[in-house]
Structure 1
Amino acid sequence: MQVRIHYALVVKKRRLSFRSDILEAQSALSFLEVLESNKKIEDLMIEDDTGDHYTPKLFRKRLAKVAEEISQLSLYFDANWQDAKQTAGLGVVIYYYKSEKSYRIRKNLMTNLPSSNNEAEYFALFHGLEQLKALDLNPQTIDIYGDSLVVINQLKGEWPVLDEGLNKWADDIEHLLADLKITPTYHAIKREKNKEADRLATTALTGVDVFSTINREAKPK
């Protein structure tokens, strides 16, 4: 969560109003402690990135609640298309934080639903977003990473979607994101930066299903 601090400095009955730069919520707490100790500071308020305002007390309660919510969502997707068999392997990796712990979901799928490599890439992203339905999400942003320039640039609106089949996938993804109340930011990455999703897609084609969720910070027993 990013915030701004609003306050007034009162000196000899004269007031100056201030608004801080954008701060990360935890950094804002340190400034609040200093400002609250200054008797010349009045009307201390915190504005979050949605435009809501909080008193320092309510802001601390809000942060305590936020710590229990899922945040910092990111999703990596990839597909491995076999033209001869008209079969695709899909791979998805999702990362998020909850209660100050980092989690990872790994999921793959073998399917003959797509009719091309580009459709398989779209399906991989759609399949990944479907996994988010099982999570208790509040409205938030998500970073989406893929090495398919077609999918990434078309969903960013930089390339036109002329193929009817791909256009349907793009619409389905937009509708699913709207239902989840998630705002995407798309990132095109090189294949070597997408190895985990690629391995899952390749593994799917061997008939091995993978579906796991782990706490990445948990120590092995």
Structure 2
Amino acid sequence: MNVRMEITYQTPKGTETAFTSDEMRAPKALLIAEDLQKTGRVSDIQFVDNHDNSWNMKELSRQMEEIQTEPHNITVYFDGGYDLKTRTSGLGCAIYYEQNEKAYRLRKNARVEELESNNEAEYAACHLALQELEYLDVHHLPVTITGDSLVVIMQLKGEWPCYEPQLSRWADRIDNLISRMGIDPEFNLVSRKKNKEADHLASQALQDIEITSTTEQSN
């Protein structure tokens, strides 16, 4: 989770001023705040996330303890493929996360028939991955969302316009899902080679091989 610090500083003679820090990871912010408190000149520190949720030091420390018991440090890989001959799509996603000091990998794929293009399949795969995060009860955390579709990544980042109605509807679904969970997405474009796990899951879906699994990973 990323936060910024809003600090009230007081000089020895009682003059006060306020500072706002850059955004940083919550554990780092807590360490800096603890150091600042040792000066004896900080009268108040609040931690604020991108959704304007606010905590004091005690509350944020408790929040970080609770996060350890929930999925966090999440990276999502997604990929979609479209078979023009059969007019079917294969969707695949792999989700890496930590929980209770252990690392996990979730794999999920799906075969669908109502899509009309490879780009639409890519969007649907991203939506599938986010639905899996919602099932894991992920909320108000940063999530890295990784794919090899230049169109989908650039449109979801808001750097490219989305003119096609079908793709626009998928983008709206994804935006609504992200907003509902309160997550902070970082969209990451990679080569197909670096996205081969999600690509393989999508290919398996097209072959009607269903994959749904969660496994613990060695550190």
Give the letter aligned to residue 174 of structure 1: D
Say which is worse superposed, 94-103 or 113-122, in terms of deviation.
Answer: 94-103
**By how many angstroms is 1:20 displaced?**
7.3
The aligned counterpart of 2:47 is 47
The aligned counterpart of 2:124 is 123
Asked whether the equivalents of residues 69 and 138 of structure 1 are also in contact (C-alpha less than 8 Å), the reply is no
Matched, 1:83 2:84: yes
Aligned-residue CA RMSD (Å): 2.8
Q: Number of matched residues? A: 215
The aligned counterpart of 1:63 is 64
Equivalences for 1:96-115 in 2 at 5 Å?
Answer: 96-115=97-116
Q: Deviations over 1:147-173 (max 9, x none)?
A: 111222222333332322222222222
**TM-score scaled to structure 1, two decimals?**
0.80
Q: Distance in 1 between matches of 2:190 and 2:28?
A: 31
**By how many angstroms is 1:103 displaced?**
2.3
**By how many angstroms is 1:216 displaced?**
2.0
Indicate the SS of the match to 2:80.
strand
**TM-score scaled to structure 2, two decimals?**
0.80
Q: Distance in 1 between matches of 2:145 and 2:38?
A: 42
Give the letter aligned to residue 123 of structure 1: A
Q: Deviations over 1:31-52 (max 9, x none)?
A: 45545555x4452524233462
Percent identity, aligned pairs only, is 35
The aligned counterpart of 1:93 is 94
Q: Distance in 2 between matches of 1:42 and 1:181?
A: 30
Say which is worse superposed, 85-94 or 56-65, in terms of deviation.
Answer: 56-65
Q: Deviations over 1:106-162 (max 9, x none)?
A: 111122221221221121112222222311232334322111112222223333323
Give the letter aligned to residue 186 of structure 1: F
The aligned counterpart of 2:144 is 143
The aligned counterpart of 2:73 is 72
Which entry has the higher C-alpha Rg, 1 or 2? 1
Q: Pick closer, same or farther for the CA change 1:28–1:115 going to 2, 3 Å.
A: closer
Asked whether the equivalents of residues 75 and 143 of structure 1 are also in contact (C-alpha less than 8 Å), the reply is yes
Q: Deviations over 1:189-214 (max 9, x none)?
A: 21111111011111222222111112
**By how many angstroms is 1:70 displaced?**
2.8
Say which is worse superposed, 125-134 or 93-102, in terms of deviation.
Answer: 93-102
Q: Distance in 2 between matches of 1:171 and 1:34?
A: 43
